[in-house]
Structure 1
């Protein structure tokens, strides 16, 4: 009996389920901001969404703002330290 060759499914193979992107985050930008983002993405050979994702997930963000109470306490500690140094000398 002659065997009939089976067709492959074709198409793109399924990727890793953990890396499938299913969630979206909507971000509105001005036309000038969009042009800036698009320019930066083009320099890296990426789409703007890909560039934003990479930038947000791999770059170090600035430190969060220091609460007002901490600023007041730092100032008080600095005054106390200055007094200790003056009294020691």
Structure 2
């Protein structure tokens, strides 16, 4: 299980926390007893980023043949007058 440190403890022992990350250990950072972050080995961060990129690529591939709109159409839709309370445009 990962070691947990308060923000104050982590700040006081930052060099040690980083050394532990270099050796493969995870340190969880807490604030008021709640887990708010972690110092992890860079390999873990790299793996998470690669997985996120892969998921995004798969999602994009699923929508490759979806219809598209031009930037001008998108901007026109975004900046058209908002509908009034009756549902029609002003």
TM-score by length of structure 2 reads 0.23
| TM-score relative to the length of structure 1 | 0.23
Decide which structure has greater strand share: 2
